[in-house]
Amino acid sequence: MVVLRCTQQLLRRLHSAPATVVPESTTRLGDWYGTAFQVGSRRYGLFIAERTRLPIVLDATELRRVAAALPKRLAEVLAILGVDAAATAEEQAAMGEAMLAATRSRSLLGSLNDFAFMTRAGLVRSGPLSPLDLSLDLAETPLGPLQMRNAGDATVGLLGRRADLASAESMELAVVRCGLRTAWCRRLAGGSLVTLRTGRFWDLVPGEVIVVRPTSEWSDAGLWHVAGEVLSTRVDAKTLGLTPLRMQDLGPWDPAEQYWGEEGEPIEDWARPIIARGPRPSFEMEQVLPGFDPDEPDDDPICRSIELKDAGDRHGARQMLMGLCEADLRCLDAHAHLGNLAFDAGPESAVGHYEVGVRIGELSLGEGFDGVLPWGWIDNRPFLRCLYGYGLCLWRLELFDEAAQVFDRILWLNPSDNQGARFVIDAVRTRHPWTPDLG
């Protein structure tokens, strides 16, 4: 039996009165404290466990059948945390009978109110999240009453971890899409789709290869789910099993036919070796854009993501671009614009997006590519955008030699330099720190 100690607001929402005679809960997590809150038109219930303050969020529909919904959501959270399955089953069984009562602990009410405030702020900032994702987010929050441990760790410590997790083998996954709490991945061995939940989401990038040590695995509706710790990440496009983008031969590019400045003006230093090299083959790289209908050019998903960003909906723009990556990791423009979205937050957040785009594009170039990818052929632009963004990030990270190589490469690939690499390469070579006005 479990006692649900509810605020007056929640009792009114449940149209219930508190019991006057209240026995002790038989659950290991103790009583549960609950409240109700609202964000816009959406209503939620929030409960925390007495002994570990583990938070559980329910939506309005679940709240109407709280006695059944709370144990079910708890089991989902405990599975992801890696709690021993027998302990989870025991806890669920003990919650088979529920009694509503009044609250009695100011400390638990304080944590409950703090969690409700954080949930409101998270929903306003990030947009819609599932109750499960909200529960997991809150479970990672350090709490003063727990000596700055989080409720998830405290709960695992109380109920015990699955015995087989300590020896669990790591797995390699290719990230194809990142949400706020979930990454969609494919196993490198076999290619099957899995969803990943982990505490490390801030730096995961579609197209990266990650090594994960699972803390729990389960199947639901035919999809395999993994929760675990990300041990390492790397950019390794060759292991993704992608078909290289096609390269269309455009014929020779001749520097003698290009504009290098007004007659009598000296040739700039960066251009001299390119001119001296003479004619080279030129190509247009295939552009992959899932969902684009050539008969509806105004419905370009990249343009729609830019419109969302400009309208202030960065979350919506990011989700649209992530959807393109999930559909086909070879959508280089999605990687470029994900990098652009992250660039203002810092080069550490953006560099992975650009580099993945560069490495996937390089699968088509092969070793020792010496051709030209003219900007005027628009399908070359996604790769060149990835390359330019990658160079800017390396510059901001003060990896000057690596950045100089990238900008020099851009000039060789597209000597007309529509991106302006020639205006920054000298600053990079002289190791001048990046500033917004320079890049």
pLDDT tens-digit profile of 385-416?
Answer: 999 999 999 999 999 999 999 999 999 999 99
424/357 same-domain check: yes
Q: What's the whole-number mean pLDDT along residues 37-42? A: 85
pLDDT at 48 over 70: yes
281 and 396 assigned to the same domain:
yes
Query: Residues with Cβ < 8 Å from 273, sequence gap 6 or more?
Result: none
**What is the phi-psi region of residue 232: left when phi exceeds 0, alpha when psi lies from -120 to 50, beta otherwise?**
beta
119 is a domain residue: yes
In three-state secondary structure terms, 29 is coil
What average pLDDT score do residues 295-316 get? 87
* pLDDT over 90 at 97, yes or no: yes
Residue 299 DSSP one-character state: G
For 179-216, the pLDDT digits (tens) are 877 899 999 877 889 989 876 566 899 999 999 988 77
In a domain, 363, yes or no: yes
Q: What is the pLDDT of residue 202?
A: 64
Tell me whether strands 98-102 and 55-59 are parallel, antiparallel or unpaired.
unpaired
Say whether both 191 and 334 belong to one domain.
no
Sorted by sequence, the CB contacts under 8 Å of residue 80 that are 6+ apart come out as: 136, 197, 215, 216, 225, 227
Of 137, 159, 181, the residue that ends a domain is 159
Q: Does 193 map to a domain? A: yes
Span 129-177, pLDDT tens digits: 789 888 988 998 899 999 999 999 999 999 998 766 555 688 999 999 9
Amino acid 199: pLDDT: 64
Mean pLDDT lowest for which of 92-101, 218-227, 336-345? 218-227
* Residue 262 burial (10 A CB sphere; 0-12, 13-18, 19+): exposed
For residues 420 and 271, membership in a common domain is answered with yes
What is the pLDDT of the chain when averaged over all its residues?
91
CATH of the domain at 261: 1.25.40.10
Host H or E run for residue 433: none
Task: Give pLDDT tens digits for 307-328.
Answer: 999 999 898 899 999 999 999 9
CA angle 69, 72, 73 (to 5 degrees): 85
Same domain, 230 and 253: no
By the 10 Å C-beta count (0-12 exposed, 13-18 middle, 19+ buried), 101 is classed as buried
Give the CA dihedral 262, 267, 270, 275, nearest 10 degrees: 90
Q: Indicate the DSSP class of residue 419.
A: T
Q: How many C-beta atoms surround the C-beta of residue 22 within 10 A?
A: 15
List of E strands, 40-118? 42-49, 55-59, 98-102
Q: End-to-end alpha-carbon separation of the chain, Å?
A: 63
Question: What are residue 6's DSSP bridge partners?
Answer: 34, 102
Q: Which tokens hold the place of 284?
A: 């247009």
Residue 27: what residue type? T
Q: Is residue 105 part of a domain?
A: yes
Considering the domain architecture, whether residues 147 and 263 belong to the same structural domain is answered as no
**According to the model, what pLDDT value does residue 1 have?**
94
Does 16 map to a domain? yes
Query: At residue 119, does pLDDT exceed 90?
Result: no
CATH number of the CATH domain containing 21? 3.30.420
Which of 159, 191, 225 terminates a domain? The answer is 159
Q: Which amino acid is at 254?
A: D
> Does residue 299 sit in the same domain as residue 407?
yes
Range of the domain at 215: 171-234
Dist. CA 109–CA 129, nearest whole Å: 24
55-78 per-position pLDDT tens digit: 999 999 999 999 999 999 999 899
Q: Give me the mean pLDDT over the 231-256 stretch.
A: 95
Closest to 352 measured CA to CA, from 236, 244, 437: 236
Close Cβ partners of 149 (under 8 Å, ≥ 6 residues apart)? 142, 143
Residue 22 in domain? yes
Q: Per the domain annotation, does 146 fall within a domain? A: yes
Give the C-alpha separation, 37 to 410, whole Å.
Answer: 53
| Contact criterion met (CB below 8 Å) for 253 and 373 | no
The answer to whether the beta carbons of residues 227 and 200 sit under 8 Å apart is: no
> Can you give the pTM of this predicted structure?
0.78
Same domain, 344 and 417: yes
- The CA distance from 30 to 106, in Å, is 16
Q: Flag whether 165 is in a domain.
A: no
* Cα angle: 205, vertex 387, 395; to 5 degrees: 90
Reduced DSSP (H G I as helix, E B as strand, rest coil) percent helix, strand, coil of the chain, to 5: 45, 20, 35
Asked whether residue 225 falls in the same domain as residue 267, the answer is no
pLDDT above 70 for 124 = no
The label of the residue with tokens 């990943």 reads: 196
Residues 281 and 415 in one domain: yes
Q: Which residue has the higher pLDDT, 291 or 407?
A: 407
Domain shared by 219 and 297, yes or no:
no
Q: Where is the domain boundary, 159, 184, 201?
A: 159
Half-sphere exposure in the Cβ direction for 26 (13 Å, CA) = 10
Closest CA to 115 of 145, 86, 85: 145
Smallest CA-to-CA distance from 153 within 56, 52, 31 is with 52
Q: What are the backbone dihedrals phi and psi of residue 5, each rounded to the nearest 5 degrees, phi first?
A: -90, 110
Task: Give the whole-angstrom CA distance, residue 274 versus residue 412.
Answer: 7
Same domain, 154 and 187: no
Nearest to 355 by CA among 317, 307, 402: 402
Q: How many domains does the chain have?
A: 3
- The single-letter DSSP state of residue 372 is B
CATH number at residue 185: 2.40.50.140
List the one residue out of 430, 354, 422 whose CA is nearest residue 392: 354
